[in-house]
Structure 1
Amino acid sequence: MIGLRRISQGLSFLALVGVVLARGAQAEVPYFQHAVLSGLLPPMEERLPTNPLEVTPGKDQVIGNYGGKLRTLIGNPSDVKLMFVNGYARLVGFTADLEIKPDILESVEVSEGRIFTMKLREGHKWSDGHPFTSEDFRYWWEDIANNPKLSPAGPPAPLIINGELPTVEFPDAKTVVYSWSAPNPNFLTDLAGAAPLLIYRPAHYLRKHHVAYIDPAKLSPVQKIKLKAWAANHNRLDNLYKFDNPNLPTLQPWRNSTPPPATRFVGKRNPYFHRVDPEGRQLPYIDELIFTVSESKLIPAKAASGDVDLQARGLRLQDATFLKENEQRSQYKVLLWETARGSHFTLYPNLNSEDATWRKLMRDVRFRRALSLAVHREEINDILFFGLAVEGNNAVQKQSPFYTEELRTKWATFDLDKANALLDEMGLTERNNDGIRIMPNGKPLVIVIETAGEETEQSDILELINESWEQIGVEVFTKPSQRAVFRNRIFSGETVMSVWSGFEDGIPNAQSSPAARAPTSQTSYQWPKWGQYFETKGKSGEPVDIPEAQHLFELYERWLASTNDDEKAEIWREMLNIHADQQFTIGVVGAILQPVVVSDNLRNVPREGIYNWDPGAQFGIYHPDLFWFEN
């Protein structure tokens, strides 16, 4: 009898499994079926919000199938953050048409351009299954942003309008309200960024590490000692963007499961992700992301060998021919996407250089104009970009309503006579035996141009620039360093000139924020200390002390206060004209085509797209959660 009872129980269990599979096999994600049947996870309908976001496949996309591991290569471990960037789950996000729509939020209502009422989705959960509510917003605002230990400079500068912080309210578990007395047209754009303004944190996880929620009486002597460093520990654990803490709950389609240091990071699908396809199936389609660290110079060769399923990072237009030759052998396709930066390669004279002689030279507009006129852009384009690039300033691309030929070419045509005349006019007439001009301090005019050392392309361009600059008596010395060192040297004023890509938003319209064109960010390498002064509300850095740069800042403030699109457009045009005239940054070539390697088995990657950081989040606006493997 006992044996029969066990057989009966076993048959009952199998029958139950059969019923569950019959009812839910099509709806339930196969990756989670075992966990659901084992009781480790609730079924899909209980994991989703009551009103999930339905994502409709766009151009070149269809409803897909579940499964697979997507392989890609990254240049260094910190690039694990690209799981967050490309996952592109934001409170509000850009569509492929660059319109802003609710994403994590169920809705957002904007009143008078200054009151933002955000509604959360009922039943939305973090990746660990804990409810996502207004408490997560309250915790960030009250316990992090306004805690002097965790945020010494106070809340982020983008939240300050006319010196005023927002009023932040939490009427109920599903509602968050941010309001100012004046319009804040950047707010939604900031929330939608590739590296967005993150105004929430998983309170249930971080409270355990916050001194306000820890009872010292319950701690051991060793724990009490560690408590003294609670703020540093909290900051280390709570960076949603860096994506380097596998224990930190996330709202992204995949969660990083690998702690650093590592050379291979695995992103596993988030069981509580809030999006579904038109058939009601939970996204993403792909189960795991595999991010493998590789030397940047080896990425093209590894991609050509079929070691990736999707790759753009580390690939250049110069690699396209080599990659095309290996398409059939390695079973992939090479797509060429447009880019949208103001310029692909840009020189940044550091107007905040610590060296008094260099500071004076870099701040003389004649010097910046001369350097720009002596860049042989056509030669660079022909030799390195097959003549396919657009030569000119770090301005806007043709897709922008503000584009004009003058913006592209002013002070950016090759004219050695005019360049030499400008330098002579400055009094830099004396030269040494090698024909290099002598600076006022008696030293030869040798500009050390610093790079992050990540791309040989930069060295190739600088070599060509050196050849043309020598004809005006200026010599170039290139100094590569690691990215963190490179940035810190710029921020401290140790650099004279640096190289980076141009303005990220090269296709702006009247509603786009012109913040990057004004001294508002330390990461603007032409004026890092002015940007730092703005970001820290005057606690560090230097106040702007050049009239033209101050005027840019005033124009930006006018744009912030305006609610009229025509006025906003005029402000944009004036700011762009100032940049072209002043040559605060020296653009070289733009509109570079970006090779994108896509495995033959990978579906829903658009054949045509814009590869850009912000707006765009690289692949983010094209919904990688909709990408899927045919086999």
Structure 2
Amino acid sequence: MKCFKFLSILLIFILIFGNTIVGQKKYNESPMTAALVKEGKLPPVEQRLPKNPIVVKPLEEVGVYGGTLRRAWMGPGDRWGIAKICYDANNLMRWASDSKTILPWLVEKYTISKDGRVFTFKLREGLKWSDGQPMTTDDVIFWYEDVIGNEELTPTFPSAFVQDGVRAKFVKVDNYTFRIEFKNPNPMFIYTFPTQGWFIDNSKGSFAFYAPKHYLMQFHPKYTPKDKIEALAKQKGFNKWYELFQFMIDYIQNPDLPTMSPWKIVSKSPNEPVFVMERNPYYPVVDTEGNQLPYIDRVVHYLVSDAEMINMKAVAGEIDFQARHMRLPNYTLFMQNKEKGNYRILVWRTGTGADPAIYLNQNVKDPVKRKLFQDVRFRQALSLAINREEINKILFFGLGVPMQAAIPPGSAYYDKAWAQAYAQYDPGRAKILLDAMGLKVGKDGFRIGSDGKPIELVVSFTTYPGSANMSTMELIKSYWEAIGIKTIIKQVDRSLYTTQCNSGDIEIGVWVLDRMSNVAISPGRLLGTWTDGPWAPLYARWYWTKGQEGEEPTGDIRKIYDLWDEFNRTVDARKRDTIIRQIIALHRKNIWIIGTVGGIPQLVIVNNKLRNVPDGILWDDPFRSELNSFPEQFFFKQ
């Protein structure tokens, strides 16, 4: 059975990536690295690649080397654009462009025990970090034991590695093989690898699964005297050794951090007007003719102040490839300027269940509002008050689907009843629900709360990602005030928004309901554990900290967490599907998240000279989009 499974994975790998070039002794490289070899600054390409390099079959044709790929971002708070074009290629496994197949990447092969408890991985022999040092299982054990397992670096041990109070074991078999052993079955664990962003600590809610031990030892007291590290920390402006360590593992801040990604950051600060990445000479990937990837020498990100400026740079022809922040409301503008800007517009499918979605914090600290928000009739009324058809027409040219915040059509586990639940525009019915709650209308036309004061909702949003902007939120405000609910809308910086979501201080948050293309592999929106959608931030914190922090949930929210625990223990795929349907039914019943328009296409701006860029693929966070377009095989065709 194990043999059959491995052969199936290998077949899929070959079908997607083309024939491997096993045994090939001669490889080709870019003029940029060839010049460094000639100068004696790099070893030959054959010595920089693993014994069995990853082989990527170019989408259209074998490319040519050279060029600079231009993009734009909004600085450190927008780091995910850099992660998803480049650094998430550090993942041990990766999604294929079909968004269905998991590809062994830095891992050459893997097996899963029949009971779903033990996962065995074989790294590619000869992998090297961007500084030329070997990457081995020692880097995996270092990450788990010395980073994730260090209480100062990781105060709350990740619940993903704990079952019934027992931590998973990471076992080194040899220099290239390791095992992860769980107490109980954990069949969905394998999906953790390709769906994560590559961040060494757990502060971003992701797992790297390995880290450059040879480099980071100098900042860790297990390997270097603590007083020496503390002194260095103070020189760098930090108070504690672990603050320095956390800075040094942040690739956005520290360009010296070794990487396994196609390009490596060379800019000294993320605040530079042009943030530069250059090819990684040790990237372990070649095309079907033995050319080391990437084809493109550099990727640059121009620093701008907001998402609309990114769109304007695209219109001006100053961006070569970008999907992130490309807004559908600008579609007409993009079409009008594509010849002048020398670009084409691709359309990718999305896993968006609502853009924007509105998240009423079930843990809101105001007791009067908490009682309101936890009354399903109040959430139903707010939902019925929204004119989704109008939003779809104004924002999305009628191309989206007016629906509840739910799984979009065409995605796994789509539930029509959930998508339609309380999604009709019916302000009259909304008023009846509010009347039934005893919320009387005051002289000024606004409803009075149980404390005798006018109800005043505070909605906080940030301008990215997604389509939430002031005009969108003004529409929401008008709909709710039409049924007597006074509404204040606040546009805030993303960093402040994130902080308030994580602390539970936000009252009502606004964020795109993404990650909905397959909730079995990315359940964070259903669980509330992606706190940028803060419908249950403190309940979610209680869940992922195993009760150490946050608030203990009751009722249907507690049922969701119990069901998800059962899901993760269940090996039978059909039984897992049944459990997912039960969780969906609880969301359909409760409408904890209020939707607007879903199923929205994602625009992609592409320079006409840039080739091997796919059209029609799936855009969703679990697939690390744009990474699932395989940017390392893009090239400029003259």
TM-score under structure 2 length normalisation: 0.90
CA contact 1:73–1:313 (8 Å) conserved in 2: no
Identify the residue that residue 128 of structure 2 maps to in structure 1.
125
SS in 2 for 1:517: helix
- How far did residue 228 of structure 1 move? 6.9
> Paired residue for 1:10?
none
Deviations 1:346-370 (A, max 9, x none): 0000011111111111011111111
1: CA distance, partners of 2:543 / 2:265: 34
- Residues 228-259 of structure 1 deviation map (CA, whole Å, 9 limit, x = unaligned): 721111111113xx533100000111111112
Query: Is 2:57–2:288's contact at 8 Å kept on the other side of the alignment?
Result: yes
Query: Residues 81 and 324 of structure 2 are in contact (CA less than 8 Å); yes or no, is this contact kept in structure 1?
Result: no
What's the CA shift string for 1:501-550, capped at 9, x where partnerless? 11x332227x53535412545444101111112233333211113x0101
> Matched residues in 2 for 1:221 and 1:532: separation?
31
1:138 maps to what in 2?
Answer: 141
Q: Whose Rg is larger?
A: 1
Instruction: Give me the whole-angstrom Cα distance separating, in 2, the residues matched to 1:339 and 1:184.
Output: 28
2:462–2:468 contact (8 Å) kept in structure 1 = no
Match of 1:153 in 2: 156
Matched, 1:252 2:261: yes
What's the TM-score once normalised by structure 1's chain length?
Answer: 0.91
In structure 1, what is the Cα distance between the partners aligned to 2:189 and 2:416?
32
**Aligned counterparts of 1:70 and 1:308: Cα–Cα separation in 2:** 8
2:479 match: secondary structure: helix
Letter in 2 for 1:564: D
Q: Is the CA contact (8 Å cut-off) linking 2:461 and 2:468 kept in structure 1?
A: no
Indicate if the aligned counterparts of 2:233 and 2:241 stay in contact, CA closer than 8 A: no
Aligned equivalents of 1:158 and 1:452: distance in 2?
29
Q: Partner of 1:291: helix, strand, or coil?
A: strand
Question: In the alignment, which residue of structure 1 is the partner of 2:553?
Answer: 544
Residues 1:343 and 2:354 aligned together = yes
1:565 positional shift: 1.5
Q: Which residue of 2 aligns with 1:30?
A: 31
Distance of aligned partners of 1:323 and 1:440 in 2 relative to their CA distance in 1, 3 Å threshold: same
Aligned to 2:493: 482
* Distance of 2:409 and 2:123 partners within structure 1: 38
Tell me, yes or no, if the aligned pair for 1:92 and 1:188 is still in contact at 8 Å.
Answer: no
Contact 2:76 2:252 in 1 (8 A): no
Does the aligned pair in 1 maintain the 2:351–2:411 contact within 8 Å?
A: no
Structure 1 residue 141, shift from structure 2 partner: 1.5
Deviates more, 1:95-104 or 1:268-277: 95-104
The equivalent of 2:203 in structure 1 is none
Structure 2 residue matching 1:168: 3-state secondary structure:
strand
Following superposition, the deviation at residue 124 of structure 1 comes to 0.3
Find the counterpart in structure 2 of residue 555 from structure 1. 563
Give, in whole Å, the separation in 1 of the partners of 2:570 and 2:522: 12
Matches of 2:171 and 2:487, distance apart in 1: 55
Is 1:49 paired with 2:56?
no
Which of 166, 169, 174 aligns to 1:167? It is 169
- Specify the alignment match of 1:63 in structure 2: 62
Q: Which residue of 2 aligns with 1:425?
A: 436
CA contact (8 A) 1:336 1:593 kept: yes
Label 1:238 to 1:343 Cα distance change in 2 as closer, same or farther (>3 A): same
Deviates more, 1:221-230 or 1:186-195: 221-230
* Distance across 1 between alignment mates of 2:527 and 2:468: 28
Aligned residue number for residue 7 of structure 1: none
The residue identity in structure 2 corresponding to 1:556 is: W
- Which amino acid is the alignment partner of residue 630 of structure 2? H
Deviates more, 1:436-445 or 1:596-605: 436-445
Alignment partner of 1:347: what SS?
strand
Cα pair distance change 1:145/1:266, threshold 3 Å: same
SS at match of 1:139: helix
Cα displacement string for residues 90-119 of structure 1 (whole angstroms, at most 9, x for unaligned residues):
111111122112111111111122211011
Structure 1 residue aligned with 2:518, among 504, 508, 533? 508
Q: Which residue of 2 aligns with 1:21?
A: none
CA shift, 1:405, in A, is 2.3
Kept in 1: contact 2:399–2:600 (CA 8 A):
yes
Aligned mates of 1:243, 1:447 — CA distance in 2: 37
- 1:434 and 2:450 are equivalent in the alignment: no
Structure 1's unaligned 5+ residue stretches are 1-23
Match of 1:4 in 2: none
Q: Percent identity?
A: 34
Letter in 2 for 1:119: K
Offset, 1:468: 2.1
Unaligned runs of 5+ in 2: 1-24, 198-205
What's the counterpart of residue 482 of structure 2?
A: 471
Q: Deviations over 1:470-504 (max 9, x none)?
A: 232112211111111112223333322110011x3
Determine whether 1:313 maps to 2:347.
no
Answer whether contact 1:524 1:531 (CA < 8 A) is retained.
Answer: no
Aligned to 2:105: 103
Tell me what 1:299 maps to: 310
Equivalent residue for 1:382?
Answer: 393
* Structure 2 Cα separation of the partners of residues 224 and 237 of structure 1: 11
Distance (whole Å) between structure 2 residues aligned to residue 493 and residue 220 of structure 1: 35
User: How far is the alpha carbon of 1:391 from its aligned partner?
Assistant: 0.9
The C-alpha deviation readout for 1:154-204, integer Å capped at 9, x for no partner, is 2x2222234321011001110111011212233222211252421111000
SS in structure 1 at match of 2:187: coil
> What's 1:73 paired with?
72
Indicate if the aligned counterparts of 1:336 and 1:595 stay in contact, CA closer than 8 A: yes
How far apart are residue 145 of structure 1 and its match?
Answer: 1.4
Displacement of 1:146: 1.3
Contact 2:27 2:45 in 1 (8 A): no
Matched AA of 1:528: P
Cα distance in 2 for partners of 1:223, 1:520 equals 36
Q: Secondary structure at the match of 1:490?
A: helix
Q: 1:600 and 1:40 mapped to 2: Cα distance?
A: 35
111-120 vs 466-475, which moves further: 466-475
The change in CA–CA distance for 1:407 and 1:281 in structure 2 (over 3 A counts) is same
Pick from 534, 538, 556 the counterpart of residue 543 of structure 2: 534
Deviation, structure 1 residue 326: 1.0
1:591 to 576, 595, 599: 599
CA gap of 1:444–1:129, structure 2 versus 1, over 3 A, is: same
- The CA deviation at 1:81 is 4.4
Match of 1:16 in 2: none
Q: Provide the residue aligned with 1:353 in structure 2.
A: 364
CA distance in 1, matches of 2:144, 2:229: 30
Residues 1:469 and 1:279: Cα distance change in structure 2 (over 3 Å): same
CA distance in 2 between counterparts of 1:75 and 1:453 reads 11
Check conservation: 1:68, 1:287, Cα contact below 8 A. Answer: yes
The alignment's C-alpha RMSD in Å is 2.2
Relative to structure 1, the CA distance from residue 512 to residue 411 in structure 2 (aligned partners, 3 Å threshold; closer, same or farther) is: same
For the residue of structure 1 that corresponds to 2:103, the secondary structure is: strand
More off after superposition, 335-344 vs 115-124: 335-344
Q: Any idea what SS the aligned residue of 2:167 has? A: coil
Question: What is aligned with 1:180?
Answer: 182
Helix, strand or coil: the match of 2:471? helix
CA contact (8 A) 1:69 1:286 kept: yes
Distance 2:95 2:459 in 1: 35
CA contact (8 A) 1:374 1:472 kept: yes
2:539 & 2:415 partners in 1: Cα distance?
A: 29
Asked if the contact 1:521–1:532 (Cα under 8 Å) also holds between the matched residues in 2, the reply is no
Task: Compare 300-309 and 82-91 and name the one that shifted more.
Answer: 82-91
Q: 1:245-303, CA deviations, whole angstroms, 9 ceiling, x for partnerless residues?
A: 10000011111111223232111111111111011111111110001111222222211
Distance (whole Å) between structure 2 residues aligned to residue 26 and residue 498 of structure 1: 52
